[in-house]
Amino acid sequence: MIVSEQNFWIPLLLTAGAGLATGIGSALAFFARRTNTRVLSFSLGLSAGVMIYVSFVELFRQADAALAAEWGERMGGALTAASFFAGILLIGIIDRLVPSVENPHEAHKVEEMDARPNHPKLMRMGLLTALAIGIHNFPEGIATFTAAMDDTALGVAIAVAIAIHNIPEGIAVSIPIFYATGNRRKAFLYSLASGLAEPIGAVMACLVLMPFMTPTLMGCILAGVAGIMVFISIDELLPAAREYGQAHTSIYGVVTGMAVMAASLILLR
């Protein structure tokens, strides 16, 4: 597959923007006086709705069509399903292997910044959280980049959804590092750095996968990306949204995200 300059930079910029949204979470932790749990719960639900809808309605369907054209309906369907669950397995394994001292997806509130104990042990917790989020963000970068390579509009939707879900992760990194150092700048930079794994994942996808890209490989990747995003939605976004204490609000967000995504895809065709 030949990758043009435009075909490379637009997906890369989308992926970088999604990853660096961790910096928005860090900024919120430093400058917001209180957490608007309703808005955050709705936003996380909306992100999950976008991801779930895109995964099943667009990515899975595109993968199935591409693989059926290459391998026939039955074999193509089997490859699509296998790739979908392989994506779930990949992100599940990563989830189990990353450091677990601090759950990077646990809900945090900016009010936690009011207490400022200067405790060196918290630095390790913050760094492990940043590492865990960075490892999680790597396959997310591959997902955003490859989806944007196949369909820019779809890549934009996925990038926005992932950016929303990276905001609370930025808070999760900033809080313990700020506690440990008392340095806002250092906490912000570590939080921002944890999101750099996404554009790194995009570059790796381009360097490693694109020279060997075929319709079969692209179909398998799209189905795998669908599996990754469904897992993220179920394992991270929806539980986090409910932990902010706005269960019904998060469901409204899910439905809104699906509706917005459906309308966008219809209008963009």
Q: What would the DSSP string read from start to end of 150-217? A: H-HHHHHHHHHHHHHHHHHHHHHHHHHHHHHH--HHHHHHHHHHHTTHHHHHHHHIIIIIGGG--HHH
d(CA 110, CA 13): 28
Residue 174 DSSP label: H
d(CA 209, CA 74): 26
Tens of pLDDT, residue by residue over 202-220, are 888 778 877 787 889 889 9
Q: How many residues does the chain have?
A: 269
d(CA 229, CA 216): 20
Q: What's the number of domains the chain is made of?
A: 1
d(CA 227, CA 91): 9
d(CA 31, CA 154): 33
d(CA 92, CA 235): 9
d(CA 180, CA 120): 5
**pLDDT of 2 strictly over 50:** no
Phi, psi of 255 (to 5 degrees): -65, -40
pLDDT for position 246: 65
Tens of pLDDT, residue by residue over 22-39, are 888 888 767 766 656 787
Tens of pLDDT, residue by residue over 56-71, are 998 899 999 999 999 9
**pLDDT of 119 strictly over 60:** no
d(CA 129, CA 258): 30
Task: Residue 14: give the domain boundaries.
Answer: 5-268
Give the distance, in angstroms, between the CA of residue 242 and the centroid of all CA atoms in the same chain: 18
